[in-house]
Amino acid sequence: DGGITQSPKYLFRKEGQNVTLSCEQNLNHDAMYWYRQDPGQGLRLIYYSQIVNDFQKGDIAEGYSVSREKKESFPLTVTSAQKNPTAFYLCASSTQGQGQPQHFGDGTRLSIL
Amino acid sequence: QKEVEQDPGPLSVPEGAIVSLNCTYSNSAFQYFMWYRQYSRKGPELLMYTYSSGNKEDGRFTAQVDKSSKYISLFIRDSQPSDSATYLCAPLKAAGNKLTFGGGTRVLVKP
């Protein structure tokens, strides 16, 4: 079954700690994205990558970092510099080209201990 | 002002009724329009995808786009309790593939 797998489903972070969220896709998509969703708000773009070894900042990149070493994988690190990390994090992917729809994983909920 | 606006709801309807959802946007660069359905604690699922003004039908779902008034609608016919979810509209510019999401409308279909 093709799809996007995010892990873990729930994650807890202590103050001052970095944590990494995993996103893997087997859809053979070139482009991958990370979004943050807060209650009552729409999704906001953190980072995106259109090709391996290349990525761009989205609208709210501060306090986050990413890597794209493999086409299938796009991990997101929430650093201690992110002062309000509690949120639902969603990974998406799409094919290249104009107007391509994005397909989402089932998210990781990050909370602060 | 947000680029994409949706009434947060909740919109409560009886089973079998038509659900009518609306979304307005301010950026005329948006050319592609998507509707996603999101169940609680799950990722958004692509429901409808349209390009340019007009109607598109898929089963019980109809998407309408009016670019002249920057207005997008989604209609759900014969609504079921399983349609209870949050519906997100997400327009996309022709250049690049960065979606801009509305805040979503929560729908409750009561049996």
Mind listing the pLDDT tens digit for each residue in B62-96?
999 999 999 999 999 999 999 999 999 999 987 76
Nearest CA in chain A to B4: A42
B12-57 pLDDT tens trace? 999 999 999 999 999 999 999 999 999 999 999 999 999 878 899 9
| CA–CA gap between residue A64 and residue A19 (Å, rounded) | 10
Which residues are registered as beta bridge partners of A64?
A78
Give the pLDDT band of residue B7 (cuts 50, 70, 90). very high
Residue-averaged pLDDT of chain A: 93
Helix (H, G, I), strand (E, B) or coil at B81: helix
Inter-chain Cβ pairs, chain A and chain B, closer than 8 A: 59
Does the pLDDT value for residue B1 go beyond 80? no
Residue A90's alpha-carbon distances to A58, B76, B81, in angstroms, are: 14, 26, 25
Which residues are registered as beta bridge partners of A90?
A35
Give the pLDDT band of residue A113 (cuts 50, 70, 90). confident
pLDDT at A104: 97
Half-sphere exposure at residue B106, Cβ-oriented, CA atoms within 13 angstroms: 9
AA identity, residue A11 = L
pLDDT at B23: 96
Residue with tokens 């979810």: B85
Mean pLDDT over A33-58 rounds to 93
Residue A101, chain B, CB below 8 Å: the answer is yes
Mean pLDDT over A22-42 rounds to 93
B45-51: strand order across its sheet? B11-14, B105-110, B85-93, B30-38, B45-51
| CA–CA gap between residue A53 and residue A67 (Å, rounded) | 7
Residue A2, chain B, CB below 8 Å: the answer is no
Give contacts of A58 with chain B, Cβ < 8 Å: 98
Give the pLDDT band of residue A7 (cuts 50, 70, 90). very high
| CA–CA gap between residue B83 and residue A89 (Å, rounded) | 23
Does the pLDDT value for residue A26 go beyond 70? yes
Q: How close is the nearest chain B Cα to the Cα of A45, in Å?
A: 8
More confident residue, A73 or A99: A73
Residue A100, chain B, CB below 8 Å: the answer is yes
Give the pLDDT band of residue A15 (cuts 50, 70, 90). confident
More confident residue, A76 or A15: A76
Does the pLDDT value for residue B97 go beyond 80? no
pLDDT at A1: 61
Out of A41, A101, A109, the one facing B34 most closely (by C-beta) is A101
Spatial CA neighbour of B25 closest among B103, B111, B96, B97? B103
- Its sign, for the CA torsion A59, B46, B31, A38, is negative
